[in-house]
């Protein structure tokens, strides 16, 4: 495919997609808390670029329209959904000779764990409403946006635990997936993390909870500094792999660890997958998840140092992490034409 490239997230964007929470999802008594997080995200993004919001019902649409009254860049669209996780059911947008193309992959609820019929159809329904004239290409392969990271220069980073999961694409092996990512994304190489996972993350190890490309040939990554924590050994092995990685030019990456937040648990005692790696980069700013724990300020400082030319916007993501995702999981950027 001619001159295809998956831009880095810090490159110019035209919009961000959100899928508003609703009462038919899994939020229960936490729905209002989730809505407040989404309102904070929509307002912060809407000050800087377009926000396309898929609304499942009239309650969602009314809330979005109230925000749009103060932020005209925010738009509501009547598109049903199963849940909020736009990173995985939204389009992955490549530039083909500099022109955006929306790649609409299959979404099967993270390996058939959750209902996904509405989410799988969401991109095809929303694109002609919110992004008219932008090419849409349906691809009959399961691929979730949270499972891949691009540096914009030919390298895709992912995890073998997710992409090779038998409930996603059981007929494709590592080599076949690499060949397809070369065609879809213009990947010159694929870096596979074989270690590292967070308790409570039911995506089978999405990369955006573990390691993220940032400008300056740098990777920010989740690191555990507590030898007593069960995450310590797998994340240490992940760090060793990151040290062995090279970019497409053969240059090693600058590696910067993110702080390790203290453990938090849900009402049933299950550990939540708190991760500062799940930040969202937009035009002129970075939205950083915070969790009402002492390490929040340290995380804001580390991420701020990685983006000295952008405003750092903390967003309380504790309501989202109760459903095992965070800010990046709940959003999908649409890059601007080259």
The domain ranges of the chain are 4-145+218-228+257-335
CATH number, domain 4-145+218-228+257-335: 3.75.10.10
**In this structure, are residues 257 and 221 in contact, taking their beta carbons and an 8 Å threshold?**
yes
Show the tokens assigned to 300.
């804001």
Indicate the angle between helix axes 58-70 and 31-46, nearest 10 degrees. Answer: 30
What residue ranges of the chain have pLDDT lower than 50?
A: 1
Q: What is the pLDDT of residues 11-70, one digit of tens each?
A: 999 999 999 999 987 788 899 999 999 999 999 999 999 999 999 999 999 999 999 999
Question: How many C-beta atoms lie closer than 10 Å to residue 240's C-beta?
Answer: 10
Rounded to the nearest 10 degrees, how much is the dihedral formed by the CA atoms of 248, 252, 254, 257?
100
**In this structure, are residues 145 and 88 in contact, taking their beta carbons and an 8 Å threshold?**
yes
3-class secondary structure, 52: strand
Task: Name the residue with tokens 């009959």.
Answer: 140
0.75 cut: is pTM over it?
yes
Show the tokens assigned to 255.
């590696």
Residue 61, CB-side half-sphere exposure with 13 Å CA sphere: 10
Question: How many C-beta atoms lie closer than 10 Å to residue 52's C-beta?
Answer: 25
Task: Name the residue with tokens 């959100």.
Answer: 18
- DSSP strands (E only) in 204-302: 211-214, 218-222, 254-258, 280-282, 285-290
Q: What is the pLDDT of residues 113-136, one digit of tens each?
A: 999 999 999 999 999 999 999 999
Handedness of CA 265, 320, 238, 108 (dihedral sign): positive
Position 42 scores a pLDDT of 98
Going by C-alpha positions, the residue among 221, 232, 236 that lies closest to residue 277 is 221
3-class secondary structure, 305: helix
**In this structure, are residues 245 and 314 in contact, taking their beta carbons and an 8 Å threshold?**
no
Separation between Cα atoms, residue 323 and residue 310, nearest integer Å? 29
Position 1 scores a pLDDT of 45
């Amino acid at each position: 495919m001619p001159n295809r490239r998956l831009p880095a997230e810090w490159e110019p964007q035209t919009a961000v997609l959100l899928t508003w929470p609703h009462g038919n999802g899994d939020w229960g008594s936490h729905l209002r808390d989730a809505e407040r997080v989404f309102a904070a995200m929509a307002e912060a993004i809407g000050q800087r670029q377009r926000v396309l919001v898929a609304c499942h019902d009239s309650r969602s649409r009314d809330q979005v329209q109230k925000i749009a009254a103060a932020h005209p860049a925010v738009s509501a669209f009547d598109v049903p959904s199963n849940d909020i996780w736009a990173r995985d059911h939204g389009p992955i947008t490549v530039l083909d000779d500099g022109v955006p193309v929306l790649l609409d992959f299959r979404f099967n609820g993270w390996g058939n764990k959750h209902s996904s019929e509405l989410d799988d159809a969401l991109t095809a329904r929303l694109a002609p409403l919110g992004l008219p004239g932008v090419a849409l290409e349906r691809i009959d392969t399961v691929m979730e946006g949270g499972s891949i990271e691009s540096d914009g220069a030919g390298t895709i980073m992912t995890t073998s635990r997710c992409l090779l999961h038998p409930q996603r694409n059981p007929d494709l092996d590592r080599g076949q997936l690499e060949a397809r990512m070369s065609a879809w994304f213009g990947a010159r190489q694929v870096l596979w993390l074989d270690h590292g996972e967070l308790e409570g993350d039911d995506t089978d190890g999405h990369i955006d909870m573990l390691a993220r490309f940032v400008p300056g040939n740098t990777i920010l990554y989740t690191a555990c500094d507590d030898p007593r924590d069960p995450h310590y050994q797998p994340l240490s092995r992940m760090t060793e792999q990151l040290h062995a990685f090279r970019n497409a030019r053969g240059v090693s990456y600058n590696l910067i660890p993110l702080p390790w937040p203290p453990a938090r648990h849900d009402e049933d005692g299950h550990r939540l997958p708190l991760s500062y790696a799940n930040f969202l980069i937009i035009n002129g700013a970075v939205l950083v998840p915070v969790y009402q724990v002492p390490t929040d300020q340290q995380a804001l400082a580390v991420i701020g140092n990685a983006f000295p030319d952008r405003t750092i916007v903390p967003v309380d993501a504790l309501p989202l992490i109760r459903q095992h995702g965070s800010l990046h999981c709940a959003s999908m950027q649409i890059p601007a034409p080259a």
